[in-house]
Amino acid sequence: MLQKPKTIKKTGDEFPIINKIVAPGIIQKFIMFRSPQHYFTYSMFSNSSNHPIKFNGEWYSSSEHLYQASKFYDDKRAIEYIRNCNPQDIINYGHIMSSKFIIRNDWQKIIENNSQNNKILLLWNAINTIYNNFLECKDGEIDPFILHAWNVLTSYNKEIIDNNDFFEICKSFLNKYNMKIKDWNMLCVVYLKIMTHSDVMMALIETHDAILIYHVPGKDSWSDCCEYGENSDFGNGKNKLGIIFMMVRYIIRINICDLFEIPGPFFN
């Protein structure tokens, strides 16, 4: 468990950061983000932030609206209900909709590896693996291979990127983290949000090599599932939303957007 932050300030220009020694002389930064009502700088990464997205000619008030709509890709009535939902209620409304309408039958399906999505699945598995190693390692004892992979993943040095093909490194990781249709759809939604809104893209790029953690209580796999309270420790949740933002950061950084095809499984 990481050392919890001593203070978390609630002004619009502040956000909680934890620094952890992961190897002798090497400090890793962790940035936590929450929903907009917590006034953290990176609350724009929350799906409920006021960043509309246009998809298939229709506008959605937030990325959460579009994500919830993707559960019902063949039910126009359900999608229209969600599009018109109050932004403050969209997450709960999505759960209500799930009880009234039939969710697509492949929602929990594991995506099979093929030549079209191979790099995305490799990236998903690698960042999940790296994140959990950083989270669980004792101070100063990170696996050197994990550290090397992270350095390549977060480097702006073109020479490092060219000489160390990260996707070749990814193949060395055990395939422990399966990606489901619902995960892919969230990745698509976050990608569209970032490509639509330059303020979100610049904020993401400016996180540099930080580990991003969606620091929210509860039982949902999208966050770290921390305890309630402003100064709570990191939880043991899967932090899928943080993982996805780190994935998109890398996709943008090395300019492989052409390999990231939408719709893919999204609204197909």
pLDDT digits (tens, 9 = 90+) for 129-182: 999 999 888 878 899 999 999 988 888 766 666 666 888 898 999 889 999 999
Separation between Cα atoms, residue 266 and residue 23, nearest integer Å: 40
Contact 36, 43 (CB under 8 A): yes
CA pair distance 242, 24, nearest whole angstrom? 26
Indicate the pTM of the whole model.
0.88
Q: What residues of the chain score a pLDDT lower than 50?
A: 1-13, 39
Closest CA to 244 of 224, 259, 222, 225: 222
Q: Quick one: pLDDT at residue 140?
A: 81
pLDDT of residue 65: 92
Q: Can you give the pLDDT at residue 133?
A: 92
Quote the tokens at residue 239.
């932090």
Please name each of the domains of the chain with its CATH number. Answer: 17-47+108-259 (1.10.357), 53-100 (no CATH)
